[in-house]
């Protein structure tokens, strides 16, 4: 019997959760603010959302993952300080940018603010020693001999991600195609694949082979 692990990614209706228990992968979904009840039985959780926010400045882990992705660094958004996120997506943009400038020296993207509710909902669960921030793009690169894959929105990118997961999934008697068939029908393919990548990253953490950004030091950490 294996400890129950999960990989989580966001999608339009909330969260999609890939759970590994007893060598089988199953799916769960829930609304943004229902996550706590849906992970209560799990031992280790990897989620693709910023956790451990700062009061001022940008997170070193975000800067380091941008460097690790090279020319694809734009796939990482910089996480603004908590006070900026607490203004919310509907706050006047001028107010948001003014506070971001005061706390970081730079403005903040609308993409980051669009995720504010999700980010704050997950951080409200802290402290929780089971919870790790996992970045699927880096997990997929790790599974692909260090090569970053094409956009997950493209057919080529989706295919490459499925191929990279299958050697591991085969050991569990399944495949990415079979798991896509079992996934709730309202979950997009790219979000389901990201949840599986987050699960693969969580398993790497459990096995003590995961990489981390930054490589040393305290503060927020991104894992793959």
CATH number at residue 213: 3.30.420
Instruction: Among 89, 123, 157, give the residue marking a domain's end.
Output: 123
For the whole model, what pTM was predicted? 0.95
Task: Compute the distance between CA of residue 167 and CA of residue 206 in angstroms, rounded to an integer.
Answer: 19
pLDDT tens-place string over residues 118-144: 999 999 999 999 999 999 999 999 999
Instruction: Among 86, 102, 123, give the residue marking a domain's end.
Output: 123
* Domain extent at residue 210: 5-52+126-223
- The phi, psi pair for 111, rounded to 5°, reads -60, -45
Number of independent structural domains in the chain: 2
Residue 102 and residue 46 share a domain: no
pLDDT tens-place string over residues 53-99: 999 999 999 999 999 999 999 999 899 999 999 999 999 999 999 99
Task: Compute the distance between CA of residue 139 and CA of residue 200 in angstroms, rounded to an integer.
Answer: 7
CB atoms closer than 10 angstroms to residue 41: 10
Looking at every residue in the chain, the average pLDDT score rounds to 96
Radius of gyration over alpha carbons of the chain, in Å? 17
Asked whether the predicted pLDDT for residue 1 surpasses 60, the reply is no
| Mean pLDDT, rounded, for 36-50 | 98
């Amino acid at each position: 019997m294996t400890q129950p692990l999960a990989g989580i990614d966001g999608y339009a209706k909330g969260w999609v959760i890939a759970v590994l228990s007893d060598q089988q992968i199953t799916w769960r979904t829930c609304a943004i603010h229902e996550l706590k009840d849906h992970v209560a039985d799990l031992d280790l959780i990897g989620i693709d959302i910023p956790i451990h926010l700062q009061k001022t400045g940008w997170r070193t882990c975000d800067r380091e993952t941008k460097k690790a992705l090279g020319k694809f660094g734009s796939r990482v958004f910089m996480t603004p300080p908590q006070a900026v996120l607490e203004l919310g997506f509907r706050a006047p943009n001028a107010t948001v940018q003014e506070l971001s400038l005061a706390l970081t020296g730079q403005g903040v993207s609308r993409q980051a603010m669009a995720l504010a509710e999700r980010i704050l909902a997950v951080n409200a669960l802290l402290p929780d020693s089971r919870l790790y921030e996992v970045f699927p793009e880096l997990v997929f690169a790790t599974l692909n001999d260090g090569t970053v894959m094409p956009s997950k929105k493209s057919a080529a990118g989706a295919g490459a991600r499925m191929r990279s997961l299958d050697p591991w999934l085969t050991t569990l008697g399944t495949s990415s195609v079979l798991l896509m068939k079992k996934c709730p029908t309202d979950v997009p393919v790219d979000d389901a694949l990201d949840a599986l990548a987050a699960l693969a990253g969580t398993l790497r953490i459990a096995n003590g082979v995961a990489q981390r950004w930054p490589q040393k030091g305290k503060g927020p950490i991104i894992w793959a």
